Amino acid sequence: MPIAEGHVTWYRACVESVLKEVKVEDMRSIGFIPALAGIAAAYDVWVNEVDTGLETYLYAANWTEGTQPLLKDMRALADFDFAARQKLEDMQYSFYRTAAGGEWSYRNNLEVWPKARFRPQQLTDVTNVNETLKTTILGYEFSAPFFIAPAARAGYGDERGELNFVDAAASEEILYISSLYATKSIEEIAAAKRNHNNTLNGPQVHFQQLYTNVDLSVTWDQIKRAEAGNAKAIVWTVDAPADSTRHRAARYDTTNANSVTSKIDWDIYEQIRNQTKLPVIIKGISSVENALTAVEKGAEAIYISNHGGRQVEYSPSPLEIAYEIYRNAPEVFEKVEVLADSGVRVGTDVLKLLALGVKAVGLGRPFMYANTYGLEGVTKAIQLLKTEVEHDAAQIGISDVHNIPSNILNLRQLESEVYLIDS
């Protein structure tokens, strides 16, 4: 049986356990200590997704590699990544998975979460925590504090593409933000929305993501199309001013969503605001200075993101950005609504960002991978994350996910790394 990728950490832990038991005084052991240490080091490799036991389970059931597991066997968002690799062509998976440079930012997005550790508070009544999952974004109500973030080319996963996101978001009553470079057009997504009403807002609410075109007349046309499609906000991506270095994607000659150098500054922001009456959310905020300027400019909302680690190497994760703002200018969270995405995979990730002041948390890749199962896959991914947020909050002693006590998190490790503004 092949060794599952997620098992390497287990093998390394076993070797380290043996090393701890060996006594140096035992002359017979001296010879193999270096060998064991070398084995341990060899297994210290990057693992793309956590080991949920899926591969062990599948191989025991005589699963055939290259076929998708049954949807019922998806127990965590990480499982959808593995499952997507079984269906997608290498080029398609590479487009979803790729990141900038040596992909440190991508890895850091996934590995940074232990730097904010929980301090669970027992003896707290959490029986009604499920009733607190509802949230509002720009005045619109949703059933959970997370949303489907903008991501391009959902058609790689399923022929219905982004229409599955529209339908799943409607049935589960969460927000969907469509990408400008979606497989389906702005008009097709708008038509799909018209099929839905929900108990929270009536007609389905969705936001439209936007890049800045070199020819601004193209951008103005895209805004008009979004307005005609009844989008309720424009999400303007500001962290893609030029082409980015993506080695994995370059192997298949896949292009970036925004592959030309564009002017992106506060003057363009004001021009966009003058082109529409819709709220304009600034996506790609990665420093406290940018956040403060956005507040000064009167932004209705800001969106913390490093684009899933896809734009530039060594960019900070959303947890680090959120903490930098929390530490230096906590009033930002009171003055504007703050969204965040990049690297979120489990319910506790969502809760950590909420604890710092973020209003709602976006996920891109996990839903793209879930889309390889079609509408049912996207719906299940939403339901899994809802359950995790609810259960994890209860275990931590959080009775209201929108009023999380500050002492829930131990932020000492982040404190040693965050940028501090001189007082």
Q: Which residues are catalytic?
A: 307
Residues 303, 308, 314, 318, Cα dihedral to 10° = 40
Residue type, 395: Q
**And the tokens for 251?**
């192997």
310 is in an annotated binding site: yes
121 is in an annotated binding site: no
Q: Residue 399, annotated ligand binder?
A: no
Closest CA to 140 of 233, 224, 229: 233
For residue 143, say whether it is annotated as part of any ligand binding site.
no
The answer to the question of whether 107 is labelled as a binding residue is no
- CA dist., res. 157 & res. 414, Å (int): 36
412 annotated among ligand-binding-site residues: no
Q: Judge whether 406 is annotated as a binding position.
A: no
Has 377 been labeled as part of a binding site?
no
Is residue 307 part of an annotated ligand binding site? yes
Tell whether 211 is in a known binding site.
Answer: yes
Q: Is 405 marked within a binding site?
A: no
Query: How far apart, in whole angstroms, are the C-alpha atoms of residue 302 and residue 241?
Result: 18
Question: Does the annotation place 341 within a ligand binding site?
Answer: yes
Residue positions forming the annotated binding site for FMN: 150-152, 179, 209, 237, 283, 305, 341-345, 364-365
Binding residues for glyoxylate: 211, 246, 307, 310
Q: Binding site: residue ranges?
A: 150-152, 179, 209, 211, 237, 246, 283, 305, 307, 310, 341-345, 364-365
